[in-house]
Structure 1
Amino acid sequence: MEGAISSRPNTRVAVVTGGNKGIGFEVCRQLAVDGGVTVVLTARDEARGAEAAERLRALGVTDAVFHQLDITDASSIATLVYFLDTRFGKLDILVNNAGVGGVEYPQELEANDGQFAGLDSKQRLEWMVKNVREPIDAARKAVETNYYGTKHVTQALLPLLQSSKEGRIVTVSSEYGLLRLISNEEARRDLNDIDNLTEERLDELLGKFLNDFEEGDALETHGWPTGFSAYKVAMAATNAYSRILARRHPMLRVNCAHPGYVKTDMSMGSGVLTPEEGAQRVVMVALLPDGGPTGKYFTKGEEASFV
């Protein structure tokens, strides 16, 4: 699959993590079709990623190629970096989409559109929280994947992004990552103090959260959110890391984009938006004009507060 395309001169190149389905797949398609971008669709599973690239080609997308990527595997990340460097010599857009929910979904439960008829977004989210389990292993995986995996991929690709005229990093975020959901005043303050926040402090906060999570009832006692708690805390940390990057690398455009409550596997199909609609909000941020905003959070296509 890797030999299927070569980028034309001056064509922008994008990498989309978790691009084999849902929002990620649609981001790949829209970047290629609407933005004229050469897209490297990545996925952890070789077969599913290759099948997704075939689906893109069936839709008329010729400038797309699949490359395997597990964002929690250092050797997998290194292999992708080597491929991009030798094939393109640069990277213009990185869309950090890969992530997990930090919960276990009951296999016996199958959601369907009919059961959500008449329910608003809040009621659908309440249904989600009620029907999932949150074991410590799933919480650790959410932190490892959503924060550390995203961070490690981004760090590895920074030299290639800096080889671009104006590299873009867009992290698919969520309203679940907003700081208002964290009542721990110290954590909320530090996560929002971007002028002084360090990666070491993020490590400390995430470690403290996981320790409190393991103790069970310590979450609320220490001011951490409940209901998809690991997803919320990992997203808040990832948002903060994006802001650190924007401050550290002012020549790059580094932003977070909330696609909305989308019907995906992660939402068990309970969302109110289609993957196409959610992806539009992400692609819009990825294709903002040169010299556009950086270090910002976008929701519904507009700048909003991280708090």
Structure 2
Amino acid sequence: MEKSATSERRIAVVTGGNKGIGLEVCRQLASKEVVVVLTARDEKRGTEAARALHASGFSDVVYHNLDVSDPSSAACLAGFIENKFGKLDILINNAGAIGATAEIDTTTPLQDVLAGKNATERLQWLLQHSTETYEEAEECLRINYFGTKYVTEALLPLLQASSDGRLVNVSSNYGLLRYFSGEDVKLELNNVENLTIQRLDEMSRLFLNDYKNGQLKSHGWPADAEYLAYKVSKALINGYTRIMAKNFPALRINSVHPGYCMTDINYDTGELTAEEGAGSIVMVSLLPVGGPTGVFFYHDEVAPFV
């Protein structure tokens, strides 16, 4: 595909596009005549995912390697997009890590263990069997928050070259401020007029320091349940979404909670399919011109950040 052949078509980048929700986002965008750059850290899996989409009739899907936690990898992707397309219309930051490890007894089929449990009970079961370490928390922040930031910064000039650039950050209801234990932290993250990206970076470091020193609750972070780093990473992503929307009003920049979906990150314990979760993300990425920006979508509805 040359620039001339794609100049009138929308170009999208999807991070973490080789499986789960990301792969389904690639499929749905391609079905709507969008040229998709499917990115993944694992070249073998990324290439296989793109080939599978080609075999399904979606020929305008291109694989490119991307490690979201590496700014040089994001810069390499930006150079590829610039040379091949000259612009970017849609960036979907989907790649993520849960920041925990589930200890699952593999001697009993998981479907038998979860039989008869509703979605809430399945989630509680998963939480009870999960542990998280400082190293996992650090990785979670590096991939979820800093990875989103690195990729966005690298591709921002190309989004600005679009006549209608869209940025969708895949977030979670776990990133809502209600999960924070301190009012001061909630107020600061919700004060988008004064919040800065530099402060978000600093807050990520403060969280990890407090995690290491056992001071999460005393300093206002999520502290009473599991997935602590995941919650903070998604709250930081939401803050980043709001700051970027304020700073770049010509773009449509939003966060989306796709729902508790059945993917390998949660051992398929979710209540929605990857197809259903991806549908919300794709819907937001293709909203009509002049649609909302700087908002949080709970599935396909605008909802509060708190």
| TM beyond 0.5 | yes
* Residue 242 of structure 2 corresponds to residue 205 of structure 1: no
Identity of aligned residues (%): 52
3-state SS of the aligned residue for 2:236? helix
Alignment of 1:1-307 (within 5 A): 7-33=5-31, 35-106=32-103, 108-109=105-106, 112-216=110-214, 218-225=215-222, 226-307=225-306
The Cα shift of 1:4 comes to: 10
Mind listing any 5+ residue stretches in structure 1 that lack a counterpart? none
Could you tell me how far apart the structure 1 residues matched to 2:112 and 2:280 are? 26
The Cα shift of 1:224 comes to: 1.9
Contact 1:177 1:239 in 2 (8 A): yes
The Cα shift of 1:222 comes to: 2.8
Could you tell me how far apart the structure 2 residues matched to 1:112 and 1:162 are? 46
The Cα shift of 1:108 comes to: 4.8
Contact 1:103 1:132 in 2 (8 A): yes
- CA deviations 1:113-134 (Å, max 9, x no partner) are 3432332332222112111110
Could you tell me how far apart the structure 2 residues matched to 1:5 and 1:257 are? 30
Contact 2:2 2:85 in 1 (8 A): no
The Cα shift of 1:204 comes to: 2.4
> Is the alpha carbon distance of 1:107 and 1:126 closer, same or farther for their aligned partners in structure 2, counting shifts above 3 Å?
closer
3-state SS of the aligned residue for 2:92? strand
Q: Structure 1 counterpart of 2:137, which letter? A: A
The Cα shift of 1:7 comes to: 4.7
> Is the alpha carbon distance of 1:203 and 1:137 closer, same or farther for their aligned partners in structure 2, counting shifts above 3 Å?
same
- CA deviations 1:276-301 (Å, max 9, x no partner) are 11100110001100110000111121
The Cα shift of 1:267 comes to: 1.1
The Cα shift of 1:198 comes to: 0.7
Compute the RMSD of aligned alpha carbons: 1.7
Indicate the larger mover: 274-283 or 15-24: 274-283
Could you tell me how far apart the structure 2 residues matched to 1:181 and 1:14 are? 32
TM-score (norm 1): 0.95
Contact 2:38 2:64 in 1 (8 A): yes
The Cα shift of 1:106 comes to: 2.8
The Cα shift of 1:30 comes to: 0.1
Could you tell me how far apart the structure 2 residues matched to 1:108 and 1:58 are? 36
Mind listing any 5+ residue stretches in structure 2 that lack a counterpart? none
> Is the alpha carbon distance of 1:291 and 1:210 closer, same or farther for their aligned partners in structure 2, counting shifts above 3 Å?
same
> Is the alpha carbon distance of 1:4 and 1:99 closer, same or farther for their aligned partners in structure 2, counting shifts above 3 Å?
farther
Could you tell me how far apart the structure 2 residues matched to 1:299 and 1:229 are? 20
The Cα shift of 1:98 comes to: 0.2
The Cα shift of 1:215 comes to: 1.9
Q: Structure 1 counterpart of 2:55, which letter? A: A
Contact 1:93 1:167 in 2 (8 A): yes
Indicate the larger mover: 115-124 or 137-146: 115-124
The Cα shift of 1:79 comes to: 1.0
> Is the alpha carbon distance of 1:7 and 1:50 closer, same or farther for their aligned partners in structure 2, counting shifts above 3 Å?
farther
3-state SS of the aligned residue for 1:143? helix
- CA deviations 1:23-50 (Å, max 9, x no partner) are 00000000010x2100000000000000
- Count of aligned pairs: 303
Q: Structure 1 counterpart of 2:196, which letter? A: T
The Cα shift of 1:111 comes to: 6.6
Q: Structure 2 counterpart of 1:78, which letter? A: A
Indicate the larger mover: 276-285 or 220-229: 220-229
3-state SS of the aligned residue for 1:190? helix
> Is the alpha carbon distance of 1:133 and 1:265 closer, same or farther for their aligned partners in structure 2, counting shifts above 3 Å?
same
The Cα shift of 1:167 comes to: 0.3
Contact 2:68 2:143 in 1 (8 A): yes
